[in-house]
Amino acid sequence: MSQQSSTGRTWVGPTAAERLRILHDTTSVAIVGASDNPARASYFVGTYLLSSSPYRLYFVNPRAKTVLGHQAYPSLADLPEKPDLVDVFRRHEDLPGVLDETLAVQASVLWLQLGSWHEDVARRGEQHGLTVVMDRCLKIEHARFHGGLHLAGFDTGVVSSRKQVLSQRAAR
């Protein structure tokens, strides 16, 4: 679907209900651009998915032997199974190549992380039958649909606009 937005973006991705269905139907996830560096977003997403999801996870990084204690694979073609969902942490200019790899292994979903937007990749992926999600974090989406935002650091448990200090004084 195309429509012009104020950001110049014309591609429109799956709705919240469609993203929930994607997460429900997914059994295996390949994280392309996975890193064993705790400062990287892919590390945080991998950690969350290992501890809070039922997915079989595969870490793809041609320069790593392991990521989060799990074997790292040089490419999607080297995985022991076809992933349902390919979660991508790569530079913008690398995305067409990742799309080609995703199509070659016949994954169902290409998921581009927060800040990652490539309309040509999305359109080409959809033309080949892929479901494409862009500019969304798999961890955040999983957590919001499965009641785990507290694990992601967003749900403080405080349902108030008052500062926590004031709430603590009121509890005395």
pTM of the shown model? 0.82
| Residue 167 confidence (pLDDT) | 43
Asked if the model's pLDDT at residue 141 lies above 90, the reply is yes
Convert the pLDDT of each residue in 122-134 to its tens digit. Answer: 999 999 999 999 9
| Residue 6 confidence (pLDDT) | 52
Averaged confidence pLDDT in the chain? 86
CA dihedral 96, 97, 101, 104 (to 10 degrees): 70
Fold of 16-171: Rossmann fold (3.40.50)
Convert the pLDDT of each residue in 101-113 to its tens digit. Answer: 999 999 999 999 9
- Residue ranges per domain, the chain? 16-171
Convert the pLDDT of each residue in 114-124 to its tens digit. Answer: 999 999 999 99
Q: Are 76 and 102 in contact (CB under 8 A)?
A: yes
Distance CA 49, CA 26 (A): 12
Instruction: Give the start-end residues of each E strand in the chain.
Output: 28-32, 56-60, 66-67, 70-73, 85-88, 109-112, 131-133
The type of residue at 154 is F
